[in-house]
Amino acid sequence: MPIIEETPVVIIGAGAAGLTLATFLHTAGVPFVVLERRDRAYIEGRQRAGVVDARGVRMFERWGLADRLLAGPVAQTIDYRINGIGRVFEIAGDDGSEGRFCTQQMLVTNLLRELIDVRGGDVRFDVTDVTITNEDGQRPQVQYARDGQTRTIACDHIVGCDADRGVSRASIPSGILTTFSHEFGYAWLAVLVEAPVVAHPIMGASDRGFVAQLPRGPQRSRYYLQCALSDGPQDWPDERIWDEIRVRLRDDSIANAAVLDREVVPLRSVVHAPMQFRNLYLAGDAAHLVPPTGAKGMNMALYDVDMLAQGLVTAVRDQDGSALADYSATVLPRVWRYQEFSAWMTDTMHNGGDPVQHGMFRQMAARARLDALFSSPVAARLHSDFQRGMA
């Protein structure tokens, strides 16, 4: 016999977006249930790109959570290079809070600890067969299976934070959403290695293609190497990976280290609009994707759930649903601004490197843009502001 219960809000997905939303709701005293198909150990160990930008830091401060959820001060710098030569940008703000950020994995770990271990929040792992009922004029329901039992939750609002291929967006009938997408024609080999970032995170344009090194914890980092769309992980043995890193960065001092995993990731941008249907609201990757070049994916998701949390609090606590009704219209302008920035960064860094795809004219034009970025204080400040989430 199915188990039936009630709660105002059901959140599907326990990644950075879903856990942040749940923690905000708990802070405001709004009951919720989080459903996650993976176990907690998997969520804590999952490697994901991204750092919290300055707007996100201010958001956590506004909710009174920055000190508990964000790592200590870390210099927000990035080393942009063209064929191994470049400039280190300082993208931290003048006040102390803007200099604090943490990786997505660290944020998720801190959220799990705060929400579950400290607050006793209702997060249910290892669920299967999630089904959403969101009919006009009826109270929404979410049905799922766990521990051999079928359970149904009646609720007022459902938030889909279950990524690009989750059940939330798939539950919306055909013809409701418009999908805007762009394939960049680039792919990255993403390689997790047992080697830390020694000085600054690196993003480089090379004649051989894009290269980057970004931190993934105190002793690990992830390298990204532009590769052919047709490549698979098997085409990149360890020795080829390290040889290519040294060539693209023009640094023979880089030593081989253990390669923990590798995957090929085609770069694309996607926006699904509107980001809501009846009593279902989409957030994060369930609603939009960006290439990781601009480091905006997680920050777009955090903005989504910040707006959702405020709307849900007024809807549940004050019986005022106006902010929720305007959710999609409120967040989409920022989504498109982040999309434009990410597309600009992606094309500039790749066109400025290997000219095979778009030719030497585009290569030299992109390098001129990068030269202006390196040499113009005005251009550098604008870029820094956007990276910090202020532009």
9-13 mean pLDDT: 98
Give the residue carrying structure tokens 């290569």.
Answer: 363
Residue 384 has pLDDT above 70, yes or no: no
* Model pLDDT, residue 232: 97
Distance between CA 279 and CA 256 in Å, rounded? 52
SS3 160: strand
26-31 mean pLDDT: 98
Distance between CA 251 and CA 213 in Å, rounded? 13
* Model pLDDT, residue 390: 45
**Distance (Å) of CA 368 to CA 275, 341, 363, 364, 365:** 37, 17, 9, 6, 5
SS3 93: coil
CATH of the domain at 283: 3.50.50.60
Query: Contact at 8 Å (CB) between 280 and 134?
Result: yes
User: Domain containing 28: what range?
Assistant: 3-55+103-179+269-341
Interstrand relation of 149-154 and 9-12 (parallel, antiparallel or unpaired): unpaired
Distance between CA 293 and CA 350 in Å, rounded? 10
SS3 150: strand
21-43 mean pLDDT: 97
SS3 140: coil
Q: Give a yes or no: residue 111 inside a domain.
A: yes
47-51 mean pLDDT: 72
Confidence of residue 372 (pLDDT cuts 50, 70, 90): confident
Confidence of residue 30 (pLDDT cuts 50, 70, 90): very high
Range among 34-48, 52-66, 252-266, 288-302 rated most confident: 252-266
Q: What is the pLDDT of residues 63-115, one digit of tens each?
A: 999 989 986 555 567 888 889 887 776 655 444 445 455 778 889 999 999 99
Longest dimension (CA), the chain: 69
Distance between CA 257 and CA 128 in Å, rounded? 38
Q: Give a yes or no: residue 302 inside a domain.
A: yes
Neighbouring C-beta atoms of residue 27, cutoff 10 Å: 16
Which residues lie below 8 Å from residue 107, measured CB to CB, with a gap of 6+?
16, 20, 52, 69, 70, 298
Mean pLDDT (the chain, rounded): 90
Interstrand relation of 32-35 and 9-12 (parallel, antiparallel or unpaired): parallel
Is the previous residue joined to 274 through a cis bond, with omega within 30 degrees of 0?
A: yes
Residue 23 has pLDDT above 80, yes or no: yes
pTM: 0.91
Q: Give a yes or no: residue 282 inside a domain.
A: yes
Confidence of residue 366 (pLDDT cuts 50, 70, 90): very high
* Model pLDDT, residue 25: 98
Distance between CA 256 and CA 172 in Å, rounded? 48
The distance in angstroms from the start CA to the end CA of the chain is 54
Q: Give a yes or no: residue 233 inside a domain.
A: no
* Model pLDDT, residue 51: 77
357-385 mean pLDDT: 76
Q: Where are the beta strands (DSSP E) in the chain?
A: 3-6, 9-12, 32-35, 77-82, 85-90, 123-124, 128-133, 141-146, 149-154, 157-160, 178-193, 202-205, 211-215, 221-227, 259-273, 276-277, 280-282, 288-289
Residue 382 has pLDDT above 70, yes or no: no
Q: What is the pLDDT of residues 150-176, one digit of tens each?
A: 999 999 999 999 999 999 999 999 999
Q: Give a yes or no: residue 122 inside a domain.
A: yes
Residue 314 has pLDDT above 80, yes or no: yes
Task: Look up residue 204 and give its DSSP letter.
Answer: E
How many domains would you assign to the chain? Answer: 1
Q: Give a yes or no: residue 87 inside a domain.
A: no
Distance between CA 97 and CA 59 in Å, rounded? 11
The encoded tokens of residue 262 equal 């590798």
Distance between CA 299 and CA 202 in Å, rounded? 20
Give the distance, in angstroms, between the CA of residue 352 and the centroid of all CA atoms in the same chain: 25
**Distance (Å) of CA 164 to CA 10, 170, 283, 289, 290:** 18, 9, 10, 8, 11
Q: Give a yes or no: residue 38 inside a domain.
A: yes
Q: Give a yes or no: residue 33 inside a domain.
A: yes
The encoded tokens of residue 342 equal 């990410």
Confidence of residue 291 (pLDDT cuts 50, 70, 90): very high
Interstrand relation of 221-227 and 141-146 (parallel, antiparallel or unpaired): unpaired
